[in-house]
Amino acid sequence: MRRIVVIGGGAGGMLAAGRAAECGAKVVLLERNSILGKKLRITGKGRGNVTNTADLEDFVAAFGSNGKFLYSAFSQFSNHDLIEFLERLGVPTKVERGGRVFPVSDRASDVAEALERWLRKLKVDIRAGTKAEGLAVPGSTSECRTGQTCPTGPTDDRPSTMPRIAGVQVFGGVISADAVILATGGITYPKTGSTGDGYRMASEVGHTLIPPTPSLSALEIKEPWVSQLQGLSLRNVSATLYAGGKKIGREFGEMLFTHFGVSGPIILTLSKAYVKLEDKSDVRLSINLKPALSRDQLDERLIRGFAQTKQFKNYLPELLPKTLIPVFAQLSEIAPETPLNVITSAQRKRIVDYLVDFRLTVEKARPADEAVVTAGGVSIKELNPSTMESKLVRGLYLVGEVIDIDAVTGGYNLQAAFSTGWVAGENGAGPHG
């Protein structure tokens, strides 16, 4: 029976461990936290946006230039496979706006708990509270840092010079294995356990690291009045990001104001372009609050509205959400008590300007410990996309966020962890692992 050690009990590691056990391997799952799936439990604001109904092409596109690497994994274990699998585990799902898939219960913890029950049923040896220190690969720089002798793996038909995984170093010794699956996640939200250990372990055995950086971050805004908008959620708006006056991205959908600035799906997506900017000194966010209307249509609407005998402040609720009204009135420099029929065409033009170009100055992205996902990681060029096996170390597999793959929001990142985990588990357990 093949022995497999999985490092990391997150989304990717749990799927890898379970699938390997289903395929007949004897599996040990190491998780540094006392519980499995600590990050999974807080995904989607605790509701767990586990995948998306997008088709394969759109799925791959959500990961940008590295998306093609995931074709095979998504074909072997697709979003539909995941949905059926979760249903079998007793977690039915539902589809929401933008094809986002959530558990019907709205509880991400239900997914983590169902996965843990699945692992226990398959007799996976779950060692929670156990931190992996390194990979045991005879001949590599990581060899036996604990001073113990590493067992050597079996020989096979690959080049004899290719190192082979022998096990995992933990406090006090080495757990020997025929295959090791590295599923330690990225560097963001380190309080959930993902502190970047896997990057170190992979580079110690020769893998190239694309520098990991936080991606999908909320943005801090300079204008002090933004804190007055805390809690305001805007739907069906468009947001455009400009750097040095040049447009670098536009997104349509939902955003949220917080005490420090802005967040929500379209902001997180735009932040991917923001974090890559070399010069962040002049970055502006322009929100179009009425993207369905042209400037002329808006102006006509205001002309009709301003024929009423109301005061400006009593008309604004027809245009804007309540929380936005005091800030908007202040910015437009029109006294709230002004009767609508005395508002000048220049003032009306100013209102249109603010409705289509509500400007915010971006100060910086929120720190890594609050970002949703890590960009960068172990180079995809050194991994076999059909199996997730390392091309440098026989029997070593990498899955999830530790790999240089990251997508926009919408359930894509979790699906990538689940799919790569499934594929690695199956191949690690198989005769070719």
Ligand X SMILES: Cc1cc2nc3c(=O)[nH]c(=O)nc-3n(C[C@H](O)[C@H](O)[C@H](O)COP(=O)(O)OP(=O)(O)OC[C@H]3O[C@@H](n4cnc5c(N)ncnc54)[C@H](O)[C@@H]3O)c2cc1C
Nearer to ligand X, 343 or 378 (CB): 378
Nearer to ligand X by C-beta: 194 or 258?
194
> Least distance to ligand X from the beta carbon of 334, Å?
40
Nearest to 367 by CA among 262, 228, 213, 239: 213
- Minimum gap (Å) between residue 186 Cβ and ligand X: 6
Task: State which residue, 41 or 164, has the beta carbon closest to ligand X.
Answer: 41
Nearest distance from residue 336's CB to ligand X, in Å? 39
- Tell me the closest approach of the beta carbon of residue 33 to ligand X, in angstroms: 5
Q: Residue 335 — φ and ψ, nearest 5°?
A: -60, 135
> Quick one: how far is CA 240 from the chain centroid?
21
Structure tokens at 415: 């699906």
For the bound state, the minimum distance from the C-beta of residue 48 to ligand X, rounded and expressed in Å, comes to: 6
Nearer to ligand X, 334 or 388 (CB): 388
Output the six-digit token pair for 189: 């939200």
Nearer to ligand X, 37 or 351 (CB): 37
Closest to ligand X by CB, 332 or 427: 427
CB of 348 to ligand X, least distance (A): 42
Residue 313 CB, shortest distance to ligand X, in Å, is: 38
Tokens of residue 74, six digits: 């998504």
Nearest distance from residue 170's CB to ligand X, in Å?
A: 8
For the bound state, the minimum distance from the C-beta of residue 115 to ligand X, rounded and expressed in Å, comes to 11
Give the nearest distance from C-beta 332 to ligand X in angstroms.
36
Binding site for ligand X (CB under 6 A): 7-13, 30-33, 38-40, 42-44, 49, 131-132, 183-185, 188-189, 192-194, 197, 372-373, 400-401, 411-414, 417
Alpha carbon distance 401, 334 (integer Å): 50
Q: How far is the CB of 142 from ligand X (least distance, A)?
A: 13
Nearer residue to ligand X within complex by CB, 42 or 325 = 42
Q: Are 248 and 362 in contact (CB under 8 A)?
A: no
- Nearest CB to ligand X, comparing residues 93 and 332: 93
Least distance from C-beta 36 to ligand X, angstroms?
7
**Residue with Cβ nearer ligand X (11 or 351):** 11
HEC per residue, the chain: CCEEEEECCCHHHHHHHHHHHHCCCEEEEEECCCCCCCCHHHHHHHCCCCEECCCHHHHHHCCHHHHHHHHHHHHHCCHHHHHHHHHHCCCCEEEEHHHEEEECCCCHHHHHHHHHHHHHHCCCEEEECCCEEEEECCCCCCCCCCCCCCCCCCCCCCCCCCCECCEEEECCEEEECCEEEECCCCCCCHHHCCCCHHHHHHHHCCCCEEEEEEECCCEEECCHHHHHHCCCEEEEEEEEEEECCEEEEEEEEEEEECCCEEECHHHHHHHHHHHHCCCCCCEEEEEECCCCCCHHHHHHHHHHHCCCCCEHHHHHHHCCCHHHHHHHHHHHCCCCCCEHHHCCHHHHHHHHHHHHCEEEEEEEECCHHHCCEEEEEECHHHECCCCCEECCCECEEECHHHECCCCCCCCHHHHHHHHHHHHHHHHHHCCCC
Strand partners, 136: 167
Nearer to ligand X, 132 or 343 (CB): 132
Q: Apex CA 260: angle with CA 257 and CA 265, to 5°?
A: 40
Give whichever of 395 and 411 is closer to ligand X, judged by the CB atom.
Answer: 411
Nearer to ligand X, 191 or 247 (CB): 191
